[in-house]
Amino acid sequence: MSVPIIHFYTKKNCPLCEEAKDLLKILQRDMTFTLLEVDIYSNDKLLEQYGLMIPVVEINDQVIQYGRIDLDEIRRYLT
């Protein structure tokens, strides 16, 4: 089975994003996944798509959560 990849859409100076990133790092201690952090300002399409939603957690091209992140929900999705 391949290692899940979590795309984490974020931007600079976003306290909610920093909180979510810290939570994902904690989860990464217990579960195996690759965390790819993507700044939405690096791409106009991403900025338009996620500008009002960040932080956004996407797994297998599906948005799992956005805004305030719930680790238990992500953990359930990964198991």
CATH number at residue 72: 3.40.30.10
Q: What is the pLDDT of residue 1?
A: 64
Mean pLDDT, all residues of the chain: 94
Beta carbons within 8 Å of 74's beta carbon, 6+ residues apart: 6, 24, 27, 57, 59, 64, 65
3-state secondary structure of 36: strand
- Averaged pLDDT, 8-20: 96
User: For residue 2, what pLDDT band results from cuts at 50, 70 and 90?
Assistant: confident
Domain span holding position 17 = 5-78
Q: What is the pLDDT of residue 42?
A: 95
pTM for this entry: 0.91
Q: What is the C-alpha to C-alpha distance for residues 3 and 1, in angstroms, rounded to an integer?
A: 7
Q: What is the pLDDT of residue 26?
A: 94
Task: Work out how many domains the chain is built from and give that number.
Answer: 1
Q: What is the pLDDT of residue 60?
A: 87
